[in-house]
Amino acid sequence: MKIDRTEVEQILLTHLEVVLKTKKLKHQIQIQLIELNVPVEEIDSILSNVESVSDLDVPLLYGLTKTLYTVTEDQQLDPDRYFGKREISEAEDILSQSVQERISLPIHFEECTKIKFDSFITKISIQNLVKLYDSQLIIYDDETQRGAKYKTNKSGGIVRTPIVNKASVKRIADKMASNSYFEDMITLNVFSSEVDPVTYNEESNTLTLNEGAVISILDGFHRLQGGVVALQTNPHLDLELILSIRSYDHDTAQRYFGQINTVNVLQRERREELAQERLSDKVVANLQRKSEIGKQIASSNKVSDLVGELTTFDILSYTIDKVFILERQFDVLQTSDYLVEFVTYLVGSYPNEFSISVKIRVNHIMSHPLMFIGYIVLSHYMYENKIPLQKLSHYIHSINLEDEELLDLLNKKKTLTGNKRIREDLIKYFDSAFRGVQSE
């Protein structure tokens, strides 16, 4: 390389952090990387965690640089500034060989039945399904799937990876390879905010997945992975699968996945988050999207210190359901707006204690996952009594974080599940505590 690699990585990181804030540019980057045959796992890793750039080998680093240059037209990102002619030639050769028979959009499915305007059914061979995946056309969207797990890369960065049951994949692959797997259903979601994702011809019963659309797998990721492995063992595998194609927006896709999950059962907390059956679930979903702690609300039944999570979806939803009166969508919107503002004051008043970096937190009792029961109780108390949020710190300071009763409740169980009685006791504890605080 013409300059030190770490300098190139820093330049790419700086531009990625800016560009990925714009949905349109993020989509363009994704499409360009797919065009360059960058593996889908690498694309997902880059888009979800820019620090993974440090793990890319030179051909992929070149591909990312070229993509950013194409999308932004920023001369600072011209690959010729950083890569020699030989490196560029070798990188392009490697990238061009990564997929031998690449499929691109648009794709046409004949003999396709329209169920309703956003739901279709047809069939697909395992060969073609895997070819779609190998062509980087099918992505794993953890927000509409099982969620993600986190691991650190070589440089200490955090990488989001799909939650996969490897034993399940192996069982499926073995059955497929031995031709003993019954035809099953795969569900794909085709979506786009830029173009019409699908077009259906009523006369010919043909469904077209249009250029510019994004395809994610809603159900059947383990079956797809099993197919990938099975074809390595039996390249001539002959298996037809039922293919359900949906064209849902993000929220609808989440609710659908929560509804259909039965195999490789989801953790209860993640299933409830996706289904959003309680109105309080919708409030927490709004907090995830709009509040300062949105990305720190865990979907699973435990928090990850690695990514700075603070509490769980289930704990927040349970408490909101208990203390706020939610009867209609209007209540959801009103409560959501108030809590978003409440969280802004809470985090703004104690930025270190709720930092995404656990090392910065001084008093770990304040950021205990179950302490958010207390914060929700306090938000309701201030809301009902029309207490200005500017006085929030007065009430937070009133909490005795060394109180043995409180510490006993917080630490009674090592897990955050199966603790309904503890949650109820904490609601009562904080309700009593805040009502006993004298106003300023």
- pLDDT band at residue 101, thresholds of 50, 70 and 90? low
Mean pLDDT of the chain: 86
Dump pLDDT digits (tens) for 308-337: 999 999 999 999 999 999 989 999 999 999
Predicted local confidence at residue 395, as pLDDT: 95
Dump pLDDT digits (tens) for 186-244: 999 999 988 899 999 999 999 999 999 999 998 889 999 999 899 888 888 889 999 99
Q: Per-residue pLDDT averaged across 369-389, rounded?
A: 96
Predicted local confidence at residue 255, as pLDDT: 81
- Closest by CA position to 125, among listed 176, 57, 171: 176
From the CA atom positions of the chain, what is the Rg in Å? 25
- pLDDT band at residue 166, thresholds of 50, 70 and 90? confident
For residues 87-113, b (16+ Cβ closer than 10 Å) or e, as one string? bbeebeebbeebeeeeeebebebeebe
- pLDDT band at residue 125, thresholds of 50, 70 and 90? very high
Predicted local confidence at residue 264, as pLDDT: 53
pTM of full prediction above 0.75:
no
Q: Rounded to whole angstroms, how far apart are CA atoms 403 and 353?
A: 19
DSSP structure class, residue 308? T
Dump pLDDT digits (tens) for 384-438: 999 999 999 999 999 999 999 999 999 988 778 768 899 999 999 999 999 888 6
Contacts of 52-56 with CB under 8 Å at 24 or more apart are 52/153, 52/157, 52/159, 53/9, 53/12, 53/13, 53/16, 54/9, 54/153, 54/154, 54/155, 54/157, 55/153, 55/154, 55/155, 55/157
